[in-house]
Structure 1
Amino acid sequence: MVKKLFSQHYSILKYLVRWSLIIIPVAIAIGSMVALFLWLLGWAIHYRFAHKWLLYLLPVAGVAIHFLYKWYGVSAERGNNLIIDEIHQPGAGVPKRMAPLILVTTVITHLFGGSAGREGTAVQIGGSIANLFASWFKLTDADKQVILTAGIAAGFGAVFGTPLTGAVFALEVIAIGRIQYNALLPCLIAGIIGDLTVAAWGVHHTQYHIDHLAAGEYFNGQHLQTGFLLLGKVILASAVFGLAALAFSKTIHAVKSISLKWIKTTWLIPACGGLIIIGLTFIIGKPDYLSLGVDPEYPGAVTIVSAFQHGGADAFSWLWKLIYTAVTLGTGFKGGEVTPLFYIGATLGNTLATLLDAPVSLFAALGFIAVFAGATNTPLACTIMGIELFGSEYAVLFGVACFTAYYFSGNSGIYSAQKIATPKITADE
């Protein structure tokens, strides 16, 4: 009995040491590349702030991105979906050039005003570098699946400063209704090391804050701080967050489908997308929905941060950002979907808080994580993200919001390669 127990613990220790030695250098490389990406992204956004005429070159930038992928990255065109497919079934591999190509094209998108995010870039950097290390280490297909999943965790954790979220997101995003626990430790190590590496390079993340709720807003008791009226408002708002996530996913897919159907010359698709973004900006009369949406281009601009304050968003800011991002990504520009989802969720939360007479900063935070949860089908990761970004005080409400949005967003999402391992509801329900 003692010998068997010793053998088991020795195997566990061997497993821990082996994967730590494999993952740590991978995560450091990914974190370093993500730090470079975040620095370049910040430079590009602020450079455009100072040179507003760059927006008029957005169609040209889109054509340049199209030909960069046509000439150098056809196999990398599918982005995050390629990495997810490779985890499901190892085959052709993730191209080495995916990391530098997505980094450069995402910076180009933001430099000229395209509405996109950064998560997709970080995940593709993580997957590409992890695949490179897998070939160097000569890993088996099973181990390659694990290291690719860890690469997603490192990239996601590093780009947002949320290492635990990165780990759980990587495990949860691969298939709806199933988590592969064999990659749990590598993903945790990767998320933590990736985040620490970005911090070591001196790159800082945006801080968000929820105003403390008044005592009357709470249910009577210290442990259940969810008054029934407030809880009802959260559930109602979260159903709307889920529908917004569904609308986001469907709109991006629709833009892609319509573009390919009606524009036969493929390089004209991003050119038209760029022209639409320019036209929308003229119609609206302000540049608030361009680029990332985190830093304000001018005092009073609508941003994710401003959405946490009374009057910090217009009634339809969320809808404009949804349209801008769907046009940008649906016509071939590069970047992620998650930061725009944060923007959509936070500004929609601001609007719903006004309509429901609810705490603005709390509902902005709930929308921030819940729209993301619905669009990616990752409610566990997004609940943890709420705790990592906003603190644990409202963890119950974070969970209610993310799981409600998850159900109301349907079985589809922004990642077409995401499989349905277990449907959200069974057929007889």
Structure 2
Amino acid sequence: MIKKLRTSVEQFAIAYHLIRWTLLVIPVSLITGTLVALFLWLLEQATHLRWRNGWLLWLLPLAGLGIYWLYKKLGKNAEAGNNLIMDEIHQPGGGIPARMAPLVLITTVITHLFGGSAGREGTAVQIGGSMAHMVARWLKLTDKDLRILLMTGIAGGFGAVFGTPLAGTVFALEVLAIGVIRYDALLPCLMAAVFSNAVCSAWGITHTHYVINFPYGSGAPWLSFLHMNLHPELLPKVILAGIAFGLASFAFAHTMHLIKRYAQLWIKPAYLIPVAGGCIVIAFTYALGTRDYLGLGVDSQYPHGVSIVNAFHLGGADTWSWLWKLLFTAITLGMGFKGGEVTPLFFIGAALGNTLAVWLGAPVDLFAGLGFIAVFAGATNTPLACTLMGIELFGSTNALYFAVACFTAYYFSGHSGIYKSQRLEIPKIDHQ
């Protein structure tokens, strides 16, 4: 009788927990989903405006100076971006200013308008995190609840900006520390990612549709009893590509951090850093004779230009397209401009996958998709989230290859990453 009573009490406690967190998550999701929708709309308008007015690129150095001034006058600790949110989850106390959301939204749009090579994930995560902290402050939540609500902000921002709520959920749980996942925030993060994505979609925002037509269903008959339509001759190529994707992740993270470190060391005064960065981007653009490496890179201004979408087709990327995007983005973000790293990582991965597919005699669309998620997995140390992202974006038929590529890239990227505040809890390998 006592045991049954305890079980009933536990179920009531669980129900109360779910209702309470649903009520806490709803305002965060409404605000985050709406701001992300506004951000994505503004980003699209800025991109097309830049395409129509190529001369805007020449103002990139001045735009960098303006971004520096805005953060100097108004930003306070918001300059730390995603790392500030992660630090606040690890150890609440420093606070996240609500001004982070409008600041990063405006400065990211400025970066894209004038030709900086950046993404959108960082902006969405900062919007979600700062709005979650604002709600937590209004409600006077405890430090424990604040940590969870901040994680829901990450999940909501990520899920809404890419239209991948499952990946957004696991990303928020997985990104804080290498080797561990925080399950105490599982359901709140899922609710936030789903609600925020629904709110963003309700504003009429649509996401790019990617297609992998690789005929997965014609695998080896002798594996049919395992319900695995695996191509044995393709698996070693996927593993080799996963190694290359991991090394590309490592190269991107280290290049960006090195550029930031040496720019701060060598360029004085500090306001000249983004000015110099803008000048370098302009010089690279004209040296290469193409504008394909500016902005997001999801689509190209020209039908046959290099872009993420075109990388899924034969001839949609040049041999070194991935390297050029890596350098453009590392310079842009390492020298003071704002935006995320993830969409450029998608570009780097898809372009590298396109090149590797040609070299290895593998399906171009499949390997572009593998690179798309695996370089991201290595750079953020989130292989589970990226595997789920592959399923959400490309369908589940190639899920096994997604996992192999993401897990391999995760290991070969080492313990580096794009987030300095990501902690190392469990090493990837035992060095003893």
Q: Per the shorter chain, which TM-score range?
A: over 0.9
- The answer as to 2:293 corresponding to 1:286 is no
**Alpha-carbon distance in structure 2 between the residues aligned to 1:6 and 1:143:** 25
> Hey, which bits of structure 1, 4+ residues long, moved more than 3 A?
214-222
Counterpart position of 1:37: 39
Q: Is the 8 A contact 1:175 1:421 kept in 2?
A: yes
2:66 is matched with 64
Correspondence for 1:427 among 407, 426, 431: 431
Looking at structure 2, the residues matched to 93 and 336 of structure 1 have their Cα atoms a distance apart, in angstroms, of 21
Q: Deviations over 1:108-134 (max 9, x none)?
A: 000000000000000000000000000
Tell me how far 1:95 sits from its aligned partner.
0.7
d(CA) in 2 for partners of 1:168, 1:218: 32
Distance 1:15 1:215 in 2: 43
Q: Which residue of 2 aligns with 1:126?
A: 128
Question: Which 5+ residue runs of structure 2 have no aligned equivalent?
Answer: none
Counterpart mapping for 1:302-317 below 5 A: 302-317=306-321
Q: Structure 2: how far apart are the matches of 1:226 and 1:28?
A: 42
User: Where does residue 361 of structure 1 map in the other structure?
Assistant: 365
Alignment of 1:236-275 (within 5 A): 236-275=240-279
Letter in 1 for 2:119: G
Q: What is the SS of the residue equivalent to 1:207?
A: coil
What's the CA shift string for 1:275-313, capped at 9, x where partnerless? 110001101101000000012111211110000001110
Normalised TM-score (structure 1): 0.98
Q: Distance between the aligned counterparts of 1:288 and 1:354, measured in 2?
A: 21
Q: Distance in 1 between matches of 2:21 and 2:311?
A: 41
Q: CA RMSD in A?
A: 1.0
2:178 match? 176
Matches within 5 A, 1:1-400: 1-213=3-215, 218=220, 220-222=222-224, 223-400=227-404
Q: How far apart, in 2, do the equivalents of 1:216 and 1:185 lie?
A: 37
Q: Work out whether residues 156 and 196 of structure 2, in 8 Å CA contact, stay in contact via their aligned partners in 1.
A: yes
| Whole-Å separation in 2 of the counterparts to 1:425 and 1:149 | 27
Amino acid at match of 2:20: R
Shift of 1:213: 2.2
Letter in 2 for 1:366: L
- Once residues 172 and 216 of structure 2 are traced to their aligned partners in structure 1, the CA distance between those partners, rounded to angstroms, is 36
Per-residue CA shift, 1:71-92, capped at 9, x if unaligned?
1003100100000000000012
Secondary structure class of the residue paired with 1:332: coil
Question: Which runs of 5 or more structure 1 residues have no equivalent in the other structure?
Answer: none
TM-score, with structure 2 as normaliser: 0.98
Contact 2:311 2:368 in 1 (8 A): yes
> Which range moved further: 70-79 or 115-124?
70-79
Q: How does 1:394-409 map to 2 (within 5 A)?
A: 394-409=398-413
Partner-residue secondary structure (3-state), 2:141:
coil
8 Å contact kept, 2:175–2:382: yes
Paired residue total: 428
Offset at 1:381? 0.2
Deviates more, 1:260-269 or 1:168-177: 260-269
Paired letter, 1:351 = T
> Quick one: which amino acid aligns to residue 355 of structure 1?
W
**Per-residue Cα deviation, 1:159-191 (whole angstroms, up to 9, x for no partner):** 000001000000000000111110001000000
